[in-house]
């Protein structure tokens, strides 16, 4: 008698959680150990706090650009661009990522939160 067992894939979360906050003009590289891939949990691109990335701006510019703004589909863009890859690099500027805050003199912020996952193949018990 032959018994067939189902073949399954499990997705395991590694104990590696990454949170990256960076400012316009920088490059960001997030990555996982060999055999793991990125799972994007959060992604933000825009301005949500005038204190973030304000070192590069004058006090007057900060006061003049206190409006919050963001790219509403940035999470989906980063999930598609970086998800399931071993590493992902972003250049944070309007040329590469667009400008979610039109007509604003501003410094943009990128925040990414990711974990590393690994697929394990085995037999169901």
pLDDT single digits (tens) 91-101: 988 888 888 88
pLDDT digits 0-9 by tens, 33-55: 888 889 898 998 888 765 567 65
pLDDT digits 0-9 by tens, 47-78: 876 556 765 555 555 555 556 788 899 999 99
The C-alpha atoms of residue 88 and residue 84 are separated, in whole angstroms, by: 10
pTM of the full predicted structure? 0.72
List b or e across 77-111, with b for residues whose CB sees 16 or more CB atoms inside 10 angstroms: ebbeebeeeeebebebeeeebebbbeeeebbbbbb
What CATH number matches the domain at 17-123, 2.40.30.10, 1.10.1040.10, 2.60.120.740, 3.10.150.10? 2.60.120.740
Mark out the alpha helices in the chain (DSSP H runs): 59-64, 74-82, 94-97
* Averaged confidence pLDDT in the chain: 75
In the chain, the DSSP E strands lie at 7-23, 27-31, 37-47, 69-70, 87-91, 109-123
């Amino acid at each position: 008698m032959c018994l067939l067992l189902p073949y399954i894939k499990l997705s395991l979360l590694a104990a590696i959680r990454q949170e990256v906050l960076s400012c316009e003009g920088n490059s960001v590289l997030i990555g996982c150990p060999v055999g793991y891939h990125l799972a994007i949990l959060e992604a933000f691109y825009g301005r949500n706090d005038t204190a973030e990335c304000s070192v590069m701006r004058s006090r007057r510019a900060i006061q003049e650009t206190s409006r919050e703004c963001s790219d509403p589909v940035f999470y989906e863009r980063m999930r598609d661009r970086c998800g399931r890859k071993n590493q992902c690099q972003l250049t944070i500027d309007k040329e590469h990522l667009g400008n979610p805050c039109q007509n604003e003199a501003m410094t943009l912020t990128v925040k990414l939160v990711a974990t590393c996952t690994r697929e394990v193949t085995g037999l169901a018990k």
